[in-house]
Amino acid sequence: MIDSILDQMTLEEQVSLLSGADFWTTVPVERLGVPKIKVTDGPNGARGAGSLVAGVKATCFPVGIALGATWNPELVGQMGAALARQAKSKGAAVLLAPTVNIHRSGLNGRNFECYSEDPMLTAELAVAYIDGVQGEGIAATIKHFAGNESEIERQTMSSDIDERTLREIYLPPFEQAVRRASVMAVMSSYNRLNGTYTSEHYWLLTKVLRQEWGFDGIVMSDWFGSHSTAETINAGLDLEMPGPARDRGEKLVAAVREGKVEAATVKAAARRMLLLLERVGAFEKTPALTERAIDLPEDRALIRRLGAEGAVLLKNDSILPLAKTSLDRIAVIGPNAATARVMGGGSAQIAAHYTVSPLEGIRAALANANSISHAVGCRHNRLIDVFKGKITVEYFKGRGCKGHPLHVETVEKGEFFWFELPSGDLDPAHFSARMTMQFVPEESGDHVFGMTNAGLARLFVDGALTVDGHDGWTRGENYFGTANAEQRGAARLEAGKAYAVTVEYEPSTANGEGINLIAVRFGVEKPLGEADIAAAVETARNADVALLFVGRDGEWDAEGLDLPDMRLPGRQEELIERVAAANANTVVVLQTGGPVEMPWLGKVRAVMQVWYPGQELGNAVADVLFGDVEPGGRLPQTFPKALADNSAITGDAAVYPGKDGHVHYEEGVFVGYRHHDTRAVEPLFPFGFGLGYTRFSWGEPKLSSYEMGPDGVTVSVDVTNIGDRAGSELVQLYISSPKTKVERPDKELRAFAKLSLQPGETGTAVMKIRPRDLAYFDVEGGAFRAEPGNYQLIVAANAADIRFIIDQPSPSAYVLSPSHQATSLIG
């Protein structure tokens, strides 16, 4: 059928398939019965089309690093299937996920969205995720291909990475997604790779992806991430997103007529687009036109389980789990206690059905809720607290909010990120909006209003201009670098008095590097100070245990910017130290999208990292704190003692964050634990680390063979739960190679198995390694090479906790082409 349709298409019709129709849909060819399909973000939920931060509600699942911490591909596969069902509820056929870029620096704004610093762990989870999504008839889109490990100058930065490092660290998750999961779509990244934009990188998109790996799906650009006509189509980019066409359309037709692009190249790309439509069943069924919010009990249960499975207990000085019946007074403190920080920022955001804060989860878990006291202590927000309450929004044709509004609506949050305006009669480039609301402060005193806008805006309080986001507007780092830095204005307000707040907004035609977005965010808060920290300390002093909920949120861990450092923002470190001094039973619960320095670690009794685990955050945290379930997580990323211990942080700007438009991956393959092990840099917490509530004993490893053959070697380890609680144990298998002509890491993860065992139960961790697992990439030979010699198999609980070392003789050297086919076997 596809070839029949394709043969009937004109060149113009073929070209029309190669650009989006709008932000989320492809172009139909009605004459030939070719439908359009819809795509949707994202990694931790299926968002509706109308807005990044509002619109039809969606189920909010854990972020990528929280999934990485589960080390549980089976559970991640279940989440993929659930996400596919959510995508169907939004009428979408393609999910723009998963994100599999590698944790390189620890400062990447999208570190939270990615799984791990290790390509093998990343690949296993990605394959499971994709299998889950595509098993339900929805296409997965693995991203961002490739070298997108930082958000700094992300539209133009060149990631300069040598081929060996690419092949061993940054490409394997994409490769495995193609080979094992048959992923249907790949998204190119914004950045350049070794000087060439990935959207027009022939070596990457055609030679490696299609010719070597056999990929037969589509390659789409990241949104506004294509920059040319002939170069992108000739390199292998099929779909320019979003639409309408910018570099395709008439420009591409003209490029064919002028001989810059072969007609066969266009036809091949159009064929891949039609194949995608066929694979997702678009020719047989019509997706729902109306987006629906489906909040399923099975999804709630899965999110709650994933939250506990990914919670990593980093320290426990005989205090956890807490006994529900023996605690008379519990202090719940910190900026993340009463506010549910359930996701990171950027395109992964969704409008969740609901959220459960830690304070709410703890209250629900305890019968005697009166025993709980709460104090904020301090703030950590990068932006002023967003306004929440009734807001009337009036939309006008043209600028200046003049005449009668064309559309009026009421919303509950002072943040607007429009993909679609509420009326088709409104021109996204030539409209204006007025938001009016009342603010009634709870306390008298100085308040701060803040606003950031992609476009032009002004905020008035009782008619007085308080925040000017119009005159002198300059681009900052908010909204993917298309908005200004947050502008602020102070006002002294009286408690209980109603103040009229008005925001007037209109779009701008030039707000950022090829991406024109329409968005505004405004808020108000009363700054916290010394009295608030002192109140939190007193709250802790009068409690049996102090639970401190600290970390960051989606304003810090966000697409479009990297973190300034690896410290907790605001006065949180001071808050921890002062609370711990007042209460010896202080437990810290961290929410961050990556590692943090912990100068206060020795002063608290327990530390648990829970990441951003989705809408069931509070319930999942309470489950673990009170021992209803165990903390099942293990670190997917090394936590260094200090930022300078990271291999990318050398003091040379060319290595990170970049210099003169280039960031040089000078550390090569020595990323994460590979760096810490090989360079003898002791971490704060090693890769794979995590404590539980029970104890295990390990038997001696057993091997299927002591010689590596084409079918590989199986390693099995018996593990027994010798404690009195159910729990899980992670068994990791690393290889250590003999000396080669290139430097190799001390050890490299090649397999793992996670066992869940009842008290007294014994299970067997079964792990398999194959010839490729012994190999490094030989750039001169253009192949993966495993030199002859003895390879050590290292069985470990984490990168620093080695249980067994087995010498594995390998009498022959395997030379494997990048396509995995053994081209020769030499003795």
C-alpha–C-alpha distance, residues 124 and 142, integer Å: 13
Note whether 639 and 581 are within 8 A (CB): no
C-alpha–C-alpha distance, residues 239 and 249, integer Å: 11
C-alpha–C-alpha distance, residues 635 and 685, integer Å: 8
| Of residues 414, 616, 559, the one with CA closest to residue 42 | 559
Note whether 616 and 309 are within 8 A (CB): no
- Residues that are catalytic: 222
Three-state DSSP class for residue 695: coil
Note whether 504 and 522 are within 8 A (CB): no
A 10 A CB-CB count for 717 gives 22
Bond prior to 569 in cis (omega within 30° of 0) = no
Sign of the alpha-carbon dihedral angle for 143, 149, 152, 158: negative
| Of residues 457, 455, 473, the one with CA closest to residue 465 | 457
DSSP string, 560-626: T---S-SSPSTTHHHHHHHHHHH-SSEEEEEE-SS----TTGGGSSEEEE-----TTHHHHHHHHHT
DSSP 199: G
Strands 185-188 and 662-664: unpaired
Chain centroid offset of residue 780 CA: 35
Q: List Cβ neighbours of 178 (8 Å cut-off, separation of 6 or more).
A: 186, 209, 213, 214, 215
Strand ranges of the sheet holding 789-798, from the earlier edge strand across to the other edge: 748-757, 727-736, 789-798, 801-810
